[in-house]
A and B are shown apart, each in its own frame.
Chain A
């Protein structure tokens, strides 16, 4: 079946839905998602979305931009960061106008709290004064992402947006540098559908499922990024993958930074609040890359707490916050600790460990969400990307907490606007090749072959190796081993067979295709990490422990290569007003 729409948006999380709301009414628009929209991963974001609203104390977007640049370890593109931080107050107010329920101040304004890496000068008149944490994260208890996703979906219903839920994308059709459409499998029937469009936007989310311990949903398999990579387009800064410091021990379920924003403290086996050593001024509210490294360092130096299964964890102490703060400000996350670990956070510490959380890298775009064809700024006509799958880059080497929810609403909207402009003069381009063909082949191959390799086995090996060898601390030896291992897994993947041969909701088939995507994503992360001989943001090389601005102040662009070495090129970081300096907190 072939569907024709002016614009097709893939992904119904915050970025996709915000873009859909923005598409002018005169154009036909469809949103495709592999899950029903409100199941999207945006809904699991907890702590907040930041904007220098100054509702609780004086603040400025310039401070927000400075923090974002510094948090990115100077890899973020400053022009894009300035756009995001300057637009943030408007974006949050707009969400409020759309109906998003926020926690409120005494005056009835949107309430704000502290979050890691968000600071301002203690004395605004003295640029050399200490930077102190600032209340910048707008929140709705600890369900900020959930109510944001609901609100955006509600606004899509109000605007009669067409949804194709439980459609799984399998092919991106780009011919002669023009994006013409895509192919998807209707999961309910396994039927192949082609979407012919003038413009396509990918808002397909992240790929935390490349790692064994992750806060990401099972659907976070990087399908959009993988299709771009498979289509011969580059991915940017894939080596920068954020580990959130506080995942529930063994499970990786996210415990929001809001827990520390409200005053929670990390403690080692001697009950010491060790973040004082690593970040003397902001302590537990240091950025995530630093806190995750501190936690692993404590454990490596013998100061972790030994768990029942022989692995180590660190304690998150919330006991001093009192029942009222816990119940009113962070009820959801403390509920997770009770449900999954049987821990009562008002009385005992919560065992945590870092968890694979967020992709700073992804599909390269300019700040109008147009996808880049290469490192020179050339764009792919009719193709856009926004949200976690995209790399603008506003997060650089390390994203600050609350900047992801901001990213999706700011750039989702900008993408919608840009597509609206593009559609004024855009035409449908004819397909040259049969758009069904590649998906038909892929599907038939997986359904019919009878190799002896199993999807869950290969997936588990991949995830474990990515965790062990391409995680928080990396080195050349282990990355090189992992590179060979991924190649072997890719070979073995060619011999998979699945049990379910039927058509209706064949989730066996979908998981098999997802694994193919994860293998490509893992390869691009590992090869990019092996190539970058420095430590910056979330990318920490034990063999190159220092940031090296002279050689590495540049973005990685990686292209898929079936044989030999990957093709890697670079793009300069855009600097406007914030000069690189040592990153101390």
Chain B
């Protein structure tokens, strides 16, 4: 079948403003959007720039806007898109474009780092064995630990669009990952970090993040658990 991709292009060395370019090619149902981008780059236009690595939804490199929805290019198949109309490919919104589909993600990573995304445990560890944790307690972390830092959630959130200081759902999810880890001693520190007007309280439970998450993480639920923890703490 003939497919048209309409891609937002921007090369800072040549263009003043981003603009769309269209590419027509022979596609197949089982091709991913990443396969299509590779086909365009390798057969039509070598100047097209995008990030990718694992090509099966684990590394989180190729989050982008596909027909207006944030998703991973490598996990979106042509058969799930309306190929009768041009398929519109844009970079994720609300981050600075560096070139074509490549964004400057510094701010996103800084916010991730801000929640102290590492285990903090002040008591001595057992000398030659693991810390015990029930499987139930471990599994409470698994969904949040699935996060691949693709930024699909954070850039889908209207609160991010209207306030660049908002910490965003990805960083909050990471905070959950450690606040609810029975092995961690720094919940209070992390809760203090997110308990600010530009922190967790900018989340207005709009649910865009859940729809955007390619790993199907119920991010809003995780944020609500943090909110509960904060309200309990205040009591």
| Interface locus among A117-125, A169-177, A433-441, A498-506 | A498-506
Contacts of A278 in B (CB 8 A): none
A504 with B98, Cβ < 8 A, contacts A38-B60, A93-B128, A101-B142 known: yes
B68 at the A/B interface (Cβ < 8 Å)?
no
CB distance from A112 to the nearest CB of B (A): 12
Quick one: closest B residue to A143, CB to CB? B146
Q: Which residues in chain B, 10-31, are within 8 Å of chain A measured between CB atoms?
A: 11-14, 30
Give the distance in Å from the alpha carbon of A110 to the alpha carbon of B14 in the complex: 55
Contact at B119–A98, with CB atoms within 8 Å? yes
B232 at the A/B interface (Cβ < 8 Å)?
no
Q: Which residues in chain B, 112-166, are within 8 Å of chain A measured between CB atoms?
A: 113, 117-119, 121, 125, 128-135, 137-139, 141-142, 145-146, 148-149
Contact at B59–A500, with CB atoms within 8 Å? no
Report the interface size for chain B: residues with CB under 8 A from the other chain.
60
Contacts of B121 in A (CB 8 A): 97, 99
Give the distance in Å from the alpha carbon of A253 to the alpha carbon of B54 in the complex: 9
B200 at the A/B interface (Cβ < 8 Å)?
no
A93 with B129, Cβ < 8 A, contacts A44-B59, A498-B46 known: yes
Contact at A336–B56, with CB atoms within 8 Å? yes
| Interface locus among A151-159, A258-266, A542-550 | A151-159
B53 at the A/B interface (Cβ < 8 Å)?
yes
Q: Which residues in chain B, 156-205, are within 8 Å of chain A measured between CB atoms?
A: 178, 181, 183-184
A578 at the A/B interface (Cβ < 8 Å)?
no
Contacts of A41 in B (CB 8 A): 53-54, 59
Contact at A44–B181, with CB atoms within 8 Å? no
Contact at B98–A143, with CB atoms within 8 Å? no
Quick one: closest A residue to B183, CB to CB? A99
Contacts of B178 in A (CB 8 A): 99
Give the distance in Å from the alpha carbon of A219 to the alpha carbon of B52 in the complex: 8
Quick one: closest A residue to B141, CB to CB? A101
Contact at B132–A39, with CB atoms within 8 Å? no
Contact at B56–A508, with CB atoms within 8 Å? no
Give the distance in Å from the alpha carbon of A40 to the alpha carbon of B54 in the complex: 8
Quick one: closest A residue to B214, CB to CB? A339
Contact at A101–B138, with CB atoms within 8 Å? yes
Contacts of B109 in A (CB 8 A): 36
Contact at A104–B134, with CB atoms within 8 Å? yes
CB distance from B121 to the nearest CB of A (A): 8
B9 at the A/B interface (Cβ < 8 Å)?
no
Contacts of A251 in B (CB 8 A): 56
Contacts of B100 in A (CB 8 A): 505
Quick one: closest A residue to B50, CB to CB? A507
Contact at B77–A217, with CB atoms within 8 Å? no
A103 at the A/B interface (Cβ < 8 Å)?
yes
Contact at B49–A108, with CB atoms within 8 Å? no
Quick one: closest A residue to B14, CB to CB? A502
Q: Which residues in chain A, 333-363, are within 8 Å of chain B measured between CB atoms?
A: 336, 339-340
The contact of B145 among A97, A143, A508, by CB within 8 Å, is A143
Give the distance in Å from the alpha carbon of A502 to the alpha carbon of B102 in the complex: 15
Q: Which residues in chain B, 51-76, are within 8 Å of chain A measured between CB atoms?
A: 51-61, 75
- Size range of the interface on A? 35 or more
Contact at A150–B145, with CB atoms within 8 Å? yes
Contact at A108–B133, with CB atoms within 8 Å? yes
Contact at A101–B118, with CB atoms within 8 Å? no
A66 at the A/B interface (Cβ < 8 Å)?
no
A253 with B135, Cβ < 8 A, contacts A101-B141, A505-B102 known: no
A147 at the A/B interface (Cβ < 8 Å)?
yes
Give the distance in Å from the alpha carbon of A332 to the alpha carbon of B142 in the complex: 12
Give the distance in Å from the alpha carbon of A92 to the alpha carbon of B130 in the complex: 8
Contacts of B75 in A (CB 8 A): 339
Contact at B43–A456, with CB atoms within 8 Å? yes
The contact of B148 among A38, A105, A151, A498, by CB within 8 Å, is A38
Contact at B148–A103, with CB atoms within 8 Å? no
Contacts of B221 in A (CB 8 A): none
Contact at A456–B42, with CB atoms within 8 Å? yes
CB distance from B177 to the nearest CB of A (A): 8
Give the distance in Å from the alpha carbon of A98 to the alpha carbon of B181 in the complex: 12
Give the distance in Å from the alpha carbon of A336 to the alpha carbon of B55 in the complex: 11
CB distance from B30 to the nearest CB of A (A): 8
A445 at the A/B interface (Cβ < 8 Å)?
no
Give the distance in Å from the alpha carbon of A218 to the alpha carbon of B74 in the complex: 12
Quick one: closest A residue to B216, CB to CB? A335
Contact at B99–A505, with CB atoms within 8 Å? yes
A107 at the A/B interface (Cβ < 8 Å)?
yes
Contacts of A424 in B (CB 8 A): none
Contact at B58–A44, with CB atoms within 8 Å? yes
Contact at A147–B145, with CB atoms within 8 Å? yes
CB distance from A385 to the nearest CB of B (A): 21
Contacts of A101 in B (CB 8 A): 138, 141-142, 145, 181
The contact of A218 among B52, B131, B133, B141, by CB within 8 Å, is B52
Give the distance in Å from the alpha carbon of A507 to the alpha carbon of B141 in the complex: 37
Contact at A103–B98, with CB atoms within 8 Å? no
Contact at A103–B135, with CB atoms within 8 Å? yes
Give the distance in Å from the alpha carbon of A38 to the alpha carbon of B45 in the complex: 29
Contact at A96–B56, with CB atoms within 8 Å? no
Contacts of A505 in B (CB 8 A): 49, 98-100, 102
Contacts of B46 in A (CB 8 A): 455, 498-500, 508
A502 with B59, Cβ < 8 A, contacts A44-B54, A99-B119 known: no
Q: Mark A152-168, 1 if CB is under 8 A from B, else 0.
A: 00110110000000000
A130 at the A/B interface (Cβ < 8 Å)?
no
Q: Which residues of B contact A (CB under 8 A)?
A: 11-14, 30, 32, 41-43, 45-47, 49-61, 75, 77, 98-100, 102, 105, 109, 113, 117-119, 121, 125, 128-135, 137-139, 141-142, 145-146, 148-149, 178, 181, 183-184
Q: Which residues of A contact B (CB under 8 A)?
A: 35-36, 38-41, 43-44, 90, 92-93, 96-99, 101-111, 140-141, 143, 146-147, 150-151, 154-155, 157-158, 188, 217-219, 251, 253, 332, 336, 339-340, 455-456, 498-500, 502-508
16 A-B residue contacts at CB 8 Å?
A: A35-B59, A36-B149, A39-B53, A97-B130, A101-B145, A102-B133, A103-B135, A104-B135, A143-B146, A146-B145, A154-B119, A340-B77, A455-B42, A499-B45, A502-B47, A505-B100
A-B pairs with the 6 shortest C-beta distances?
Answer: A99-B119, A499-B46, A108-B132, A456-B42, A154-B118, A104-B135
